[in-house]
Structure 1
Amino acid sequence: MGVSKSDAIVIVGGGAFGLSTALHLSRKGYTNISVFEKDDHIPPRFSAANDLNKIVRAEYEDPFYTDLTIKAIAAWKTPLFAPHFHQTGFLHCVSGAAPKKAAETLQRFRASAERNPQMKLHVVPLEGVEDIRQAAWQLTGQLPGWYGYFNRFDGYAHSGNALAAVYRAAQAEGVRFFLGEQGAVDEIVYVSALTGRKCAGIRTKNGRFHPSALTVVAAGAGVGRLVPQLGTQVVAKSWSVAHVHLTDEETSALRGIPVTYARDLGFFFEPDPKTNLLKLCPMGGGYINTDPKTGVSHAPDTLQESAFLPEDDEKQLRKLLAQTLPTLADRPLVKKSLCWFADTNDSDFIVDYLPNMSSSIIVLSGDSGHGFKMFPIVGSFVTDLLEAPDDKQSVVRWRWKESDPDAGKGDWGGDVSWRLGESKELSAIMPPKASKL
């Protein structure tokens, strides 16, 4: 098709993938870019990246993603992103009670880090409690049977602040933003074309039609409702998040602690100095919200439906704190919620044109809970696709994959090696008196 630099480009979604795309398109000289976001502010509350922090670790079993993350970390150190990146290191362990799958995954990740010439000098083996305390002296718990490694190359990013920074930068580049009722996309509009159909733009919930030469759908966990052609290529999946509210002194004492990750229990970060919140996440198979008519999991329509912490996850986080920071083990957990992602079975992204639409609509999705680390560069995946010969995605693993209509309901993403446990339905774990829409 070919999109000129002055053609109207619509981006659906003001989260990490949408903002990065807006920034990269504007830096490539595209001058007519509009971002549509249903929340009334950015960072949007519906975005998985509207959060205190996300892990930025480079070791993957697949060298493709290792190399890509190393490139992303270099971009995290550039002026726009550097204030939000904290290279505190990644303390990656299993406890003495870890299942075999967790221990084997840990060893594969360590081997990946030790193979890579840029990371291997940063990797320190941790054979027991004393080694771990050399890397993170604040861990005063007994750490029963813990072992693993420490990678100083890794760290975390303050995701909410990073989104806000890129939002401001994109506005300065001339990107237009439609928020709230004006930005809530009701449908993708298609029209007839010589070769079938094409996307003509979007219609927002206030009834207004916005034409476009190219539409990029970067709607996170909401992508399935806007692009039902995805079928089960992408499904909505969630994991729990909770926080402990610390005192000023407790926050200061934990300053500089590495991301502490027990693969069989969960992980936590350096506390945020502005809010004094210590963020914790349990490990597990995650939660889905399957539509019985289609077999596809969708994110709930309201934030209230996800504003809780499942009982089993709370027990797991209590165990994590008891083994690492025991003085906090019985403290109240606050700001509890489920965080929804766009998940794929193989954790590969989808960055491709919707088939048979005259290259008029691109789907950018499948963060699968690990995509935020790519925030500084993920928008370049779209500009690369726009410049690709024959409008073809050169990265085979990111191409459109047709769903099998006879596959039936599955444990979406359950076979991914670095996840433990099976997915559970949201309806099965919601608190009493809450209802599923």
Structure 2
Amino acid sequence: MPTRRLQKTDRIIIIGAGAFGLSTSLHLALRGYKNVIVFDRHDYEASKYDYRSGAESASSGMSDSSIDILPHNTFSLTCRNFIKDLNKIIRSAYGSQVEYQDLSKEAIEWWTAWNEEIKNGNDLPPGLDSSDRVYINNGTLSFTDKDELASFELDTIRNMEAAGLAGTQLVTMNPQHVEAAEKRGVGYGIDPFRRKERGKGNVGVLDTTGGVVVADKACRFALHKARALGVKFVFDAQAGAFESFWYDKVGKVIGVKMQNGERHKADKVVMACGGWTPSLIPELDGLCETTCGSVIMLKIPRDSPLFVRFSPERFPSWMWQLWDGAEGGLYGFPRDDLGWMKIGYRGTKYTNPQVQPDGKVRSVPITRYTPGDKITHIPERAMKVFKHFLAEYLPEMAESGIDIELTRLCWYTDSFDNHYVVDDIPGQDTVMVATGGSGHAFKYLPNIGKWIVDIMEGVGLERTLVQRWRWRELQAGEKPFNVLMEGSGSARALQNVAWSKDSDLKLGTRPRL
């Protein structure tokens, strides 16, 4: 926690222009800090947070012009890793973790305000107009193939009611809730997979506060707002790429050195480098690790009846058996304006352990833009889970001749307890780390920076979330939420997994799990 009070004129450097970095820069500017600069090695001005154009962060998305329409075989072979993240889930449902529930409520208020700003259209970045939305409130369905709701869902319902949000969580098996959903215009979210008409069970809860965030547009809007308030951005493969810290004679960090050799002094450095953070900050060993989930993309033709069926106005975002291990952990979205429908899998979180300069092994992201070998498939296990789900819950895809068009890996930073890390590096009160999103942080893009700046200023340090985000170690006997740093011998290490094949993109067969 901070030992020196920040001054509004202090030079604050942020490394990374993803969700944590953008939000921190925005809220520093909103509080009147006059000397904030953000460095990133990707030119987000040019790429507009579009992965195909080089944007690698988990905050990136796919813009309307990011895909060339090619023959099917060429498309699936060459574009498989071109998209990073098209959209993100918004949810208030957090079981017994009421602090994140409250943080979600605060975030939704910000998202709604951003939508209004865009609708008014007075000052928008290139590529956005008044018809755009960064937040679509179409609900988030959490469901299972079990016979009853999990304790997580029951805790959510109870805690949302206690927070004065009764009626926001609609149980799919409750006739009164089904009727209420119809009256409120969200009946589509109760049984979006048409389980009832197929004679199947339909056990779940629709979080009506939830929905979808359009990732690339949200980042572009946040960047535009921060710049308008005076934040400076350096986007360059060398000048924007972090090389090392700059130390004084007694070992205190006084700035950063970039890969072009330039040094920049700073009163405070914030490391918000997403999946690259653990390999840049060795002190995170045992606390955080870079992991990846698997993603498939289906392309629904505009002239297909499914284009209407899976529109955001008729289909919610969803999570399936989120805490059920390797055979669960799926999530998905309605299709976007071009017909792309994304489904993700985090039931198994894979790693890419590599020997680092200090001789230790740490997981690092590997993307389409990584020098050397490229990842052009997803693990076989992930593909089997995807295809099993599609055969059971979305058989109309195969029936309509729709196959998997794209596959990719999506990198995150997991902490051992699934909480974020927002604190100074031990022994370096001039360097803060803002990381550990653990796959559930992007929804807080508008407001997480407010909390980060609070911590920088020493405000509200007694709050439960702030305490949870402090630097910490796994205690003896403590069971981790995420098992970290299993090394190169792990079954989750990419060098040890079996990979899917091009033939697996074809739907119509249900693989054995």
Note the C-alpha offset of 1:414. Answer: 4.5
Superposed CA offset, 1:213-254 (max 9, x none):
111100011111221112121110111111101112433332
Superposed CA offset, 1:364-395 (max 9, x none):
11100001111111111221012216x96762
Normalising by structure 2, we get a TM-score of 0.73
Q: Verify the 8 A CA contact 2:247 2:255 in the aligned structure 1.
A: yes
Take 1:301 and 1:150, find their aligned partners in 2: how far apart are those partners? Answer: 34
CA RMSD of aligned residues (A): 3.1
2:193 maps to a residue whose letter is L
Q: Quick one: structure 1 residues 178 and 423, their matched pair in 2 at CA, closer, same or farther if it must change by over 3 Å? A: farther
2:348 maps to a residue whose letter is G
Superposed, which structure 2 residues align to 1:61-140 within 5 Å? 61-79=96-114, 83-96=133-146, 103-118=150-165, 120-127=166-173, 135-136=189-190, 138-140=192-194
Quote the residue 2:65 is aligned against.
none
- The gaps in structure 1 that reach 5 residues or longer are 416-421
2:58 to 48, 54, 62: 48
Take 1:56 and 1:338, find their aligned partners in 2: how far apart are those partners? Answer: 21
Quote the residue 1:384 is aligned against.
454
2:340 to 277, 286, 289: 277
Q: Verify the 8 A CA contact 1:56 1:155 in the aligned structure 2.
A: yes
Quote the residue 2:126 is aligned against.
none
Quote the residue 2:404 is aligned against.
333
Superposed CA offset, 1:173-211 (max 9, x none):
221111132211111222234xxx322111111111121
Normalising by structure 1, we get a TM-score of 0.85
The answer to whether structure 1 residue 352 and structure 2 residue 423 are counterparts is yes
Take 2:155 and 2:289, find their aligned partners in 1: how far apart are those partners? Answer: 27
Quote the residue 1:287 is aligned against.
350
Take 1:340 and 1:428, find their aligned partners in 2: how far apart are those partners? Answer: 18
Quote the residue 1:418 is aligned against.
none
1:285 maps to a residue whose letter is T
2:25 maps to a residue whose letter is A
Superposed CA offset, 1:17-40 (max 9, x none):
101111111111111111111122
Corresponding pairs, count: 414
1:323 maps to a residue whose letter is E
Take 2:365 and 2:27, find their aligned partners in 1: how far apart are those partners? Answer: 28
Q: Verify the 8 A CA contact 1:140 1:326 in the aligned structure 2.
A: no
Note the C-alpha offset of 1:157. Answer: 0.7
1:260 to 271, 295, 318: 318
Note the C-alpha offset of 1:74. Answer: 1.1
Quote the residue 2:393 is aligned against.
324
Q: Quick one: structure 1 residues 134 and 54, their matched pair in 2 at CA, closer, same or farther if it must change by over 3 Å? A: closer
Superposed CA offset, 1:336-386 (max 9, x none):
2111111101111111112222x2111111100001111111111221012
Note the C-alpha offset of 1:431. Answer: 3.8
Quote the residue 2:246 is aligned against.
189
Take 1:382 and 1:23, find their aligned partners in 2: how far apart are those partners? Answer: 11
Take 2:500 and 2:136, find their aligned partners in 1: how far apart are those partners? Answer: 39
1:219 maps to a residue whose letter is C
Quote the residue 2:30 is aligned against.
27
2:433 to 363, 373, 395: 363
The sequence identity of aligned pairs, in percent, is 26
Note the C-alpha offset of 1:137. Answer: 5.9
Take 1:20 and 1:66, find their aligned partners in 2: how far apart are those partners? Answer: 19
Take 1:134 and 1:215, find their aligned partners in 2: how far apart are those partners? Answer: 47
Superposed CA offset, 1:287-334 (max 9, x none):
122346535333237646444222222222222222333221463323
1:155 to 211, 222, 226: 211
Q: Quick one: structure 1 residues 107 and 283, their matched pair in 2 at CA, closer, same or farther if it must change by over 3 Å? A: farther
SS of the residue corresponding to residue 286 of structure 1 reads strand
Take 1:307 and 1:48, find their aligned partners in 2: how far apart are those partners? Answer: 17
Q: Verify the 8 A CA contact 1:242 1:280 in the aligned structure 2.
A: yes
SS of the residue corresponding to residue 249 of structure 2 reads strand
Quote the residue 1:419 is aligned against.
none
Take 1:137 and 1:339, find their aligned partners in 2: how far apart are those partners? Answer: 28
Quote the residue 2:231 is aligned against.
175
Take 1:414 and 1:423, find their aligned partners in 2: how far apart are those partners? Answer: 12
Stretch deviating more after TM superposition (13-22 or 300-309): 300-309
Take 1:143 and 1:289, find their aligned partners in 2: how far apart are those partners? Answer: 42
Q: Verify the 8 A CA contact 2:137 2:209 in the aligned structure 1.
A: yes
1:300 maps to a residue whose letter is I
Quote the residue 1:18 is aligned against.
21
1:220 maps to a residue whose letter is G
Stretch deviating more after TM superposition (311-320 or 275-284): 311-320
Quote the residue 2:470 is aligned against.
399
Take 2:291 and 2:319, find their aligned partners in 1: how far apart are those partners? Answer: 21
Stretch deviating more after TM superposition (164-173 or 249-258): 249-258
SS of the residue corresponding to residue 17 of structure 2 reads coil
1:315 to 379, 384, 394: 384
SS of the residue corresponding to residue 248 of structure 1 reads coil
SS of the residue corresponding to residue 285 of structure 1 reads strand
Q: Quick one: structure 1 residues 135 and 432, their matched pair in 2 at CA, closer, same or farther if it must change by over 3 Å? A: closer
Q: Verify the 8 A CA contact 1:95 1:144 in the aligned structure 2.
A: no
Take 1:143 and 1:342, find their aligned partners in 2: how far apart are those partners? Answer: 40
